[in-house]
Every structure is written in C-alpha cells, then in structure tokens.
Amino acid sequence: MKVILLNGSPRKGWNTDILLHKAAEGAESVGAETEIINLYELNFKGCRSCMACNMDGKSWGHCAWNDDLKEALDKIDRADGLILGSPIYFGDVAAEMRAFLERFLFQYTNFDNGHSERRNHLKAGFIYTMNAPSGYMNDLYKKYEQFLQPHAEYAGTVECSETLQVEDYSKYHLGFFDGVQRHQRRETVFPEDCKKAFELGEKVAG
C-alpha cells in the first residue's frame, strides 16, 4: 500500500503541512508507505490543452507534458491512496493545487463516455485549511469531491477553519483577525483537526 500526499501550500511547517504529516502518520499506522510531495517546489503549469491524453497511443490516459509534475503524476498513477492538502485562497484551492488538479483529472477523463481511464483502484481524500469560519466553503469541497469521484473512491474531507496565520499578529496589518482568538483555537481546536487528519490517513490506507 502506497499513499501519496500532495502539499498545495507554499508554507512549510504551517497548517496544511502539519495536517498532511498527521495524515501520513495515520496511513503509516496501518502499514502504508507514504510520500509527501510539495507542489510549490516543482516547476510546472496547469493543463495546456494539448489533447495528447485523449489520443490513441502511449499517451492515452496519461499527461504527456514532461515537466516537474510528470514524476509526481507517474507516482500517483501507481499509488493506492492520494491525500491532497491545500489552503483556500480567495474562494478556491491554491494556484499550484488547482494546476495539479487540471493535469491529474483531465488525463483520466474519457470524453467519449465520461468514464475514467485510470487503470487501478485509488482512494482519495482532501484536507482544506482556511481563515473563514467552518462550513463557509462547503460548496467548494463538494465540487472537488465530485471531480475526484470518477477516478477514485472518495474517503473524506477534513476542514481546518479560522487558522492561525502568523505567530505575532502585531507585526502585520491583519486587524480584521483576532490574534488572541486564533491562538486559542490553535491550542483547543487544531489538535482535533490533527486527529481528523490522522483518521483520514488511516481511512485512505485502510
């Protein structure tokens, strides 16, 4: 059992990254091998609409563009589990995650019949972090769940809301946010989010 975890956040050691590591721990606890890939370390772009993945031949069902994402896509193609993690920026996943999803989803979609061209079974889950209150982006979660479902068995969503953005709010123009309240949530709510991420890892690897 191999589980790939994709970090769509540019910030290492912060909310999304921490939760993905917890998910990896959960997957490892039931015997899975895990690998975390940081999308912001890769040099790639979104789908170029070259249509090679929809042509007969060796590129059928696979993204043909040879850049830094190619190795990650090949690893996911062979994996048993996939956990995506992204912050929410202005109402959607971060740009690198969105670019990945274009490449990942388009290559498997058969536009003759709407079926998936993915050859082996995959379980997938999504971890979201955001500054907004819980439930604010439920429509977004549902959208990406529906996008993933033709190609994977969807194992669940973890939402981490009203996150701690910085350690010292006094150093930044972030007056819209209550730094004291965010630190309190970090101590009381974030550990529960970490537990949910761990459980998602168990479920994807189970």
Please choose, from the candidates 118, 103, 107, the residue with its C-alpha nearest in 3D space to the C-alpha of residue 53: 107
Domain 2-205 adopts which CATH fold?
A: Rossmann fold (3.40.50)
pTM attached to this predicted model: 0.95
Q: Are 127 and 97 in contact (CB under 8 A)?
A: no
Query: Which residues make Cβ contacts (< 8 Å) with residue 93, sequence separation at least 6?
Result: 8, 86, 87, 101, 128, 140, 144
Tell me the pLDDT band of 19, cut-offs 50, 70 and 90. very high
Q: Average pLDDT over the chain, rounded to whole?
A: 95
Give the span between the Cα atoms of 154 and 116, in whole angstroms.
14
Tell me the pLDDT band of 185, cut-offs 50, 70 and 90. very high
Dump pLDDT digits (tens) for 32-78.
999 999 999 999 999 999 999 888 888 888 999 999 999 999 999 99
pLDDT at residue 10, rounded to an integer = 95
Beta strands in 94-173 (DSSP E): 123-129, 153-160
Give the burial string for 163-189 (b: 16+ CB within 10 Å, else e). bbbeeebeeeeeeebebeebeebbeeb
Whether residue 101 has pLDDT greater than 90: yes
Q: Which of 111-115, 189-193, 201-205 has the lowest mean pLDDT?
A: 111-115
Q: Exposed/middle/buried for 3, CB within 10 Å: 0-12, 13-18, 19+?
A: buried
Q: Terminal CA-to-CA distance of the chain, rounded, Å? A: 9
